[in-house]
Each structure stands twice: as structure tokens, then as C-alpha cells.
Structure 1
């Protein structure tokens, strides 16, 4: 039997007690532990249990997490002010221990704006899965509201991919770059990267319980996501307005944000407020109950880097309606696991979403077929052990083995 690969995984935040990127990084590390000789390097949050306890089969290297901008978590998540400190820590660690590894992997951050500390460390390295860098379609910009000043910094990402020497070199010198969907490869076109592969960053724990089928004549639509314009909830409400003569359709939204009040007002204006429920932020177990009790998942998010909630819905056997853009365009198989709607104008998107809802609402057999196919897809490719085995295969490919 061949020896296990010696892998160094780095991420500025990694914890099972967190959310977002830090939690996803933890799930990758947890899944990889049985398959490789794993070392994890990260900041240790003072509010979380030690990474040594969380990942007992891995060697852990941590430093105290800087508290810069803790009072503004959204700004902190966008700017990652601790990144220069993390880079120095990783480079110093590689100078002392680089010879102990076959390959290194910068699993996070996901955004394509952070030059990697692994470059020049003497160890072949992988970066990704990378995501983001999607822009707002022109026809939607007037409805997108006034964004925080720091979110507009995303517009610099494309320029940096063309002109930032450190960022370009990070991807050019990587043994492999991973992206959450094929559009990432297009964004990286200005750089001569060595190897590329699509890898959705999120996995699933296992199959969902069987959903209880009802026959009460109501078709329950579900949208799960932050209350921001890009998630497409307003487009779903407008689709409900176009289907106002269908009292059998009921929409439930789970998620909080400034968009929710606007969507509630839109539902009132269109005369469908009695068929739209906006629950705001709810606990995770209640979100799972919504998946179990719904008939169609409607998520036409048009600036979605990956589309993890689509994976969650498909795990429950729900047919899905998504936008033909970004990550959802890769996750959803048109006419197989759901419908994809083109993104051109808000009016056109609402019409297309309404049409897709009507087709699925009128055909329970099609809903069952799409749902079964989607569930089979995520079970075949999305289970964490399966994803970890695939990642080890990519490590070996990157090393030429």
C-alpha cells in the first residue's frame, strides 16, 4: 500500500462552530483526515473550541486570530484585514517545515483577490475552489440599491487578475487551480495557469429523509437566502404576481435582509401578499423542515458564485428553478433536475420564472422526476467522503502521479 500524501491545508478561518467559509474549510479538513497525512494551519478563534479537538486526526498549527474589524463582520469578511498577517505566518512556517509536505492547499478564501502565501514556499500547491467576481447585469443595476462602499471594491477583481503581478503569479505558479463552476475558468483566462478543475466547495452529509407527499391541492414554493436583491426573491414575488389567478401557489421565504421589506411591499402591490410568507432568519432545523414540506425550490439568484442552497434542495428531492448564470448554471441540468431561466431584464426573468413554476405546478410527475434525478446527482457527487476522494485524486494529478 502506498504511503498517504502529506498535505498542508491553510485557511485563515476554519471551525465547525462557525458559518460560511470557515465551516466549509472545516468540512473539507474533516473529510480529508482519514485519507491523507493532514496538517491544518489557521487562526484559532478565542470563541471556538481548539482545532486540535475538532480535528483529532490532523496535525494542527494555529495562531491567535486578530480582532481587527470584529465590530463590523461584513466589512471584515470583505476586506480580510488579517490576511497579510496570515501570509507572514504561513511563509515563516514553510521556511521551517516546507520539506515535510508533498503538496499544500489554500482552501480559502474563496474570492479571487488574495495573493497566496504558498507561492515560493518550495511545495507544489493548489488554490481553491475559487468563486465570486460576478457582476450585476446592467438591467438589474437600478434595482440593486446603494451598496456599501467596500462591496464596490469587487469591481477591482477583474483589473487585478489582469495587472496585479502577485495575484497573477499566485495562480500561474500553482500546480492546480480549482473553481466552483466553469465561469471561474473564464475569469482566469488572462493568466496562463497550469491545470484547472471545477469543484463545488460544499458537500452533503447524506440522503435526506423521504418527504411526505400531500394531496391538499396547495403547491408550496420555497426560497432560501439572504435578503439582498441579487438572490432573486423579488423576481419570484413578481412571478407570483403574474400567476395571481393561481390560488394554489404559496411562496415561503427564509432569510433576513433589507430586501425582505421591499419584497413584502411588492407582494402587497401585486395582490399576492396572502400567498407569500416572509419568515426572516430562522434556525437551521426549521430550514430543513421547510425543505421537507415544500414542492418546488425557486432560487433565481443572478449573481451566485456557487449555489449551495440548490444542492440542499436537491438533496431533499425538490425540483429546482434557477438562473442560467454563475454557479447555478453548472449545478442545475436543464430539463433534467429543474429549469434554468435566462438573465436579461427583471421583467423577462419574472416571466420565465412564472412559466417554470406553472409547468412544475401542473405536472406532479415532472416534479417527482426532476426531484429524483437531482437527489441522485447530489448523492453521487456531493457526499463529503466522495468529494474528499476526488480531491486526493486531484492532488495526485497536480503532482503528476
Structure 2
């Protein structure tokens, strides 16, 4: 089969690789009908995540048709149409029973490696390094889904791939980022990053009923897309984020600040961002946390900071004293995708949201390597890439 494979920094290739096979009774083999390039994939593309190996199959946002199931898989059958969440879950461990699916205790088959990195392993993830299990991803013609009797979302009839694809990652990620902040009708919600996750976060905050939603970015197409939904845009290349946020909140700061950027934040000509880039280049720092610093500074006292953006390692110069003295609450983590499926499917089915709005580029799988660069560079008005194997 054909698959997009990692061969080093900025080196994604469309290779011919062996077809996946059933390895466990709970497995399923899914023929991928639609997949996407996620902003998190760019961290792999830019060589910032450890434990990637040559030939690793990329991709954690995909869906398709079940073509084969293991002997112990009694919830799926060939012909079923499914979205596959990026978090692999057993559905039986203590964390899964609590609904904390992104920290499933059984699905990361490289648990010993992850324990050393994080203290305790997180769940296994598709196509996202050997630190999270080394599972082949879904930017491919076929994919093996472990624990497939639980790691799936069945697609109702009448909904297109494009409407439901993002249930596997960016829609529930944006939703969780807002829901975990207990947003009130009087709250201002400020969202850093108007990429795909940021766009879903904007619409989630509006659906949940925030008084004011503000989005910070510098790409005109992204800001325009968020503004069309009702968000107040701030272009950080053209105005001071802190001054504008204080103006919009009467000097008090937003009650909720959401980091939909993560480890590769840009910050114009700010000194801390330039220092981060130098430190990252000489391996004195793994991530660029300008957004996190700015959120801590501007967030209203007793407010909440939510972090759906991916961080991979060690951060420098975080103003933790400000966070402690202001009494800020931090909520963060990979998404508990399956926790939100019922209500999100209902929102789509009732036409309260059509997540396909975010798609700007659709292409065959073979064009994926070039579109990684287009997406990374935000060229050609690119906000979200969908691939058709």
C-alpha cells in the first residue's frame, strides 16, 4: 500500500509499505477514505519530537471503512464506516473507566520509554513517535486499529467524510479546551492561534455561549475565518496583544485564555521569542513558549488557562510566580476524544456546526509531502489539508 512516511526533518515521502495485518483479536483493519494533516504533525515534520524512526507512517486524523476484524472484536464488522480517534484506548483500565481516555494505561506499548520521559506513560497515539507506542498512522491506504472495538466512532448515515472526519481530533480538541474551563455567559475567552484547532475552539466557545471570543494570530486568512464566526481578531504583527486584550476587557483581562498553538509559537519581534529560537537551535530548550508566558501575564486573576496545544519537553522562563499569585487554574492535556462523541455528533447532525468549513485544500495522498510544506508555511491560503488515499 501507499503511505506518507517520515524520513527525517522536512522529509516526508509517499512510500510503498507492507499492508497492515490483524495482530490481536480486538484489532480491525480500516481502509482509509479520508485523512488530514494536523498541526501536531508539523512538530514531527520540523524534527521537534523525539523517538521518530525512518519509515514511520504519519497521520492521526483519519476515517474509513472496516475491511477486517479480529476474532474478539464483536462491535465492528466489515463495511462499517468509522472515524478513528487519535488516542488509542482499551476502554477497561482505571483511567478509561473515569473517561480520561488520553491517559489510557494499557494502549501505549512503549510504556517503559514513556514512563522515563513523563513519569507515567500516556495513551498510545497513531503516527506520533515511538514515545507514544510507535503505531503506524493513518495517512495511508490502510491502517491497523488496535483495541478497535473501543477505539472508533461509528458514522451515522447521511453524513459525509468531511463533516465527521475532524471528530477524530481537532473538533473534540477545541471543544475540550473550552468545556474544561467552565465558561460562563459573562466570560471573555481569548484564543491564541487561529489554525484548525483554534478555529474549532472559537466555534466551541461561541456554541457554549461565551460573552466575547477573541482570537490572536497574524495570518489574514485565519483571522478572517475566525471573524466570520463572530470572534474579535487581533493581528499580533500589527498591534500589541496585551494592550488590545486589556482594552477589550476594560483592563481586567480575559477570564479564559486558551493556547491553541503549543511548542512552535511565533511572536513577531518580541525578545523572549527570539531568545527561544536561539535556545531551541542549540538544544538548550525544546519548545518556544511565548504564548504561554503571554497568557499568564494577561489572564484575569482567578482565571483559567487551557492548553490544547502540544508541548514536547522543557520550557524556559515561565512566570510561575505570576500564575501562583494571581490564583490561575491550569487545564491541559491530550483530548479525551471518546468522552465528547455523543454531543458533538448531535451538534453536527442537528446542523449547528459543519466542521468541514475549515478545509481549504483537498488532494490525493501522493501530493501529501508537498502539502506538508504548504501547510507549515501557511502558503496559498492553507488552513487545513485533507487527503484522499
Higher RCO structure, 1 or 2 (CA under 8 Å, sep 6+):
2
TM-score over 0.5 for the pair: no
Q: Where is the helix percentage greater, Structure 1 or Structure 2? A: 1
TM-score, with length taken from structure 2: 0.29
TM-score, with length taken from structure 1: 0.28
Q: Which has the larger radius of gyration?
A: 1
